[in-house]
Chain A
């Protein structure tokens, strides 16, 4: 039996991984405002792949010999925005699980959030930050939107650096409507245009949930000492790792992330730090519960 992280590393079908992760999660994490998918009947809609079978109107199938889905009259109050940091540093691999990168992990967790949002009937959109650009997928509802977002997430590869402050400001025009903003990043650049944008969104009373991804090797400061290292985003400077600089590395890293945590706490922005070797279901649960805890605490 593969662990869920290994599954992420080896699966190419994001949809399948999402189902796998959510199956272990059970229901009822997300406190949705809309209960059920058909409280107030609105209209019939042709069946689309991904629709739940229980929403198919079987009597209508018997009459018309076609699948129709009952659409409910709903008005979701929140839009869920998925922000994926896909800069070059997110290609950092797990040094213990072959083929697993931070980007893949973040992709799966964001896909899970999208699936949950879709089940609850919330609108959700996607912002991918890579190569000094912020690729924007408009918010929408329904299974087609989920397929669209999953396809977009599947096609992302890591590269480039974060977009500038102006680009991000232009891309986050959704900030007018209230929403949930789920950000998955490594937060190695802090402060950065992304962090500034997140703090600004938080100050605008958005529900911002940050997920900071590490690798086990980073946490334990255990890297191979043989090669010289380069920063994937910052130039041609060479770095050396050895037992003599291990403490320095750990100290610098701790100082950096202490600063990140301090800034988040100051701005009441729930931040969950996780290693990509951890089971994605647990991390997802912690991510979403941290928000609930944060709301309750606030």
Chain B
């Protein structure tokens, strides 16, 4: 309940059209009195009866208000059932083993996505994450049972282009060729648009407008393996950030006390569309009624 939007408290506003559309009726008990002229004039008593006029218009207005409130409150419907969350790049053979609704995630961070969208799932929905999902920093808590069937993918080495300005270009070339792991370093003669790194190993100052990330490397390339590893680690830390680990495969038990995630605005588009349509209908019906 604590996660419900305060906008839902505006829901009684829907009662307003219902009250407005109640029929007024003149008080039926009027009698003729010949000597009424000797009495003071009074306002005719009107009484409302539990009957409505323009029921279609009234329903449209109620719907319009309800839709507006739902839009403002960012309505979340628990409409997803058992689901398989597929991390991109997962082989089809792995995915096909799970028979359920599939959602292909945008990136590897399945836990963050699940936190954002957890309220869209039914209470008893079972969730399975397959593929190379990222391990979060702390053990995640969900209200649903989530099975992580993760497996590390062999990562194809990413091409990284390096331009070297040095008198010892061959030594640099050897160093980059020895890079292992997810590195495949291509040394270009001149910096291009794909260049990640420019190594400047010359005593004079580099010209302005060289582009890319510039490294001043005084003293040439490192000469032993440890210093070379340290150099690569520094490069990665500085420019690429830490590489995520693959989350270990496990089953997370449902935790009822887990905080529900924020509303994701998944229905915002449809609610907005419904609001426009309802508004147009309401205006049309009102216009027809006035004529």
Q: Do A and B bind each other?
A: yes
**A249: which B residues are within 8 A, CB to CB?**
35, 38-39
Closest to A255 in B: B38
Asked if A19 is at the interface of the complex by the 8 Å CB criterion, the answer is no
Stretch at the interface among B25-33, B67-75, B110-118, B174-182: B25-33
Docked-complex contact B40 and A226, CB < 8 angstroms: no
Asked if A52 is at the interface of the complex by the 8 Å CB criterion, the answer is no
- Encode B27-53 as 1/0 by CB contact (under 8 A) with A: 101111111111111111100000000
Docked-complex contact A248 and B39, CB < 8 angstroms: yes
Docked-complex contact B45 and A228, CB < 8 angstroms: yes
Name which of A229, A253, A256 has the most chain B CB atoms within 10 A of its CB: A229
Q: In the A-B complex, list the 7 residue pairs whose CB atoms are closest, starting with the nearest.
A: A240-B42, A92-B34, A89-B34, A252-B38, A229-B33, A239-B39, A227-B29
CB distance from A133 to the nearest CB of B (A): 20
- A–B complex contacts, Cβ < 8 Å, 19 sampled: A88-B32, A92-B34, A102-B34, A188-B34, A218-B35, A223-B33, A227-B31, A229-B30, A229-B39, A230-B30, A230-B32, A231-B37, A237-B41, A238-B45, A240-B39, A241-B39, A248-B38, A249-B35, A252-B37
**8 further contact pairs, Cβ within 8 A, besides A186-B34, A228-B29:** A92-B34, A188-B37, A227-B30, A230-B31, A232-B32, A234-B37, A238-B30, A238-B41
* Bound Cα distance A66, B49 (Å): 72
Closest to B32 in A: A232
CB distance from A117 to the nearest CB of B (A): 29
Docked-complex contact A248 and B35, CB < 8 angstroms: no
* Bound Cα distance A229, B36 (Å): 7
CB distance from B36 to the nearest CB of A (A): 4
Closest to B28 in A: A227
Closest to A232 in B: B32
Asked if A245 is at the interface of the complex by the 8 Å CB criterion, the answer is yes
Chain B, range 81-95, C-beta contacts under 8 Å to A = none
- Encode B112-145 as 1/0 by CB contact (under 8 A) with A: 0000000000000000000000000000000000
**A226: which B residues are within 8 A, CB to CB?**
29
What count of chain B residues pass the 8 Å CB interface test?
18
Asked if A40 is at the interface of the complex by the 8 Å CB criterion, the answer is no
Q: How large is the interface on A (under 10, 10 to 19, 20 to 34, 35 or more residues)?
A: 20 to 34
Docked-complex contact A228 and B44, CB < 8 angstroms: yes
Footprint of B on A, CB under 8 Å?
Answer: 88-92, 102, 186, 188, 218, 223-224, 226-234, 237-241, 245, 248-249, 252-253, 256
Docked-complex contact A228 and B37, CB < 8 angstroms: no
**B39: which A residues are within 8 A, CB to CB?**
229, 239-241, 245, 248-249, 252
Footprint of A on B, CB under 8 Å?
Answer: 27, 29-45
Docked-complex contact B40 and A248, CB < 8 angstroms: yes
* Bound Cα distance A253, B35 (Å): 8
* Bound Cα distance A232, B29 (Å): 15
**B37: which A residues are within 8 A, CB to CB?**
188, 231, 234, 239, 252
CB distance from A271 to the nearest CB of B (A): 17
Q: How many residue pairs, one in A and one in B, have C-beta atoms under 8 Å apart?
A: 86
Closest to A234 in B: B37
Closest to A237 in B: B41
Docked-complex contact A91 and B32, CB < 8 angstroms: yes
* Bound Cα distance A146, B86 (Å): 110
* Bound Cα distance A65, B45 (Å): 72
Docked-complex contact A245 and B30, CB < 8 angstroms: no
* Bound Cα distance A18, B228 (Å): 138
* Bound Cα distance A228, B36 (Å): 10
**B31: which A residues are within 8 A, CB to CB?**
224, 227-230
Partner of A238, one of B35, B38, B43: B43
**A240: which B residues are within 8 A, CB to CB?**
39-40, 42
Docked-complex contact A91 and B40, CB < 8 angstroms: no
Name which of A91, A186, A228 has the most chain B CB atoms within 10 A of its CB: A228
* Bound Cα distance A24, B67 (Å): 82
* Bound Cα distance A218, B39 (Å): 11
* Bound Cα distance A118, B54 (Å): 65
Docked-complex contact A188 and B35, CB < 8 angstroms: yes
Assess A228 versus B35: contact at CB under 8 Å? Given A239-B42, A245-B40: no
**B27: which A residues are within 8 A, CB to CB?**
227-228
* Bound Cα distance A92, B34 (Å): 6
* Bound Cα distance A226, B27 (Å): 11
* Bound Cα distance A68, B38 (Å): 57
Docked-complex contact B32 and A239, CB < 8 angstroms: no
**A234: which B residues are within 8 A, CB to CB?**
37
**B34: which A residues are within 8 A, CB to CB?**
88-92, 102, 186, 188, 218, 231-233
* Bound Cα distance A230, B36 (Å): 6
* Bound Cα distance A240, B44 (Å): 9
**B36: which A residues are within 8 A, CB to CB?**
229-231, 239
Closest to B44 in A: A238
* Bound Cα distance A214, B207 (Å): 119
Docked-complex contact B43 and A229, CB < 8 angstroms: no
CB distance from A259 to the nearest CB of B (A): 13
**A223: which B residues are within 8 A, CB to CB?**
33
**B45: which A residues are within 8 A, CB to CB?**
228, 238
Name which of B27, B31, B41, B44 has the most chain A CB atoms within 10 A of its CB: B31
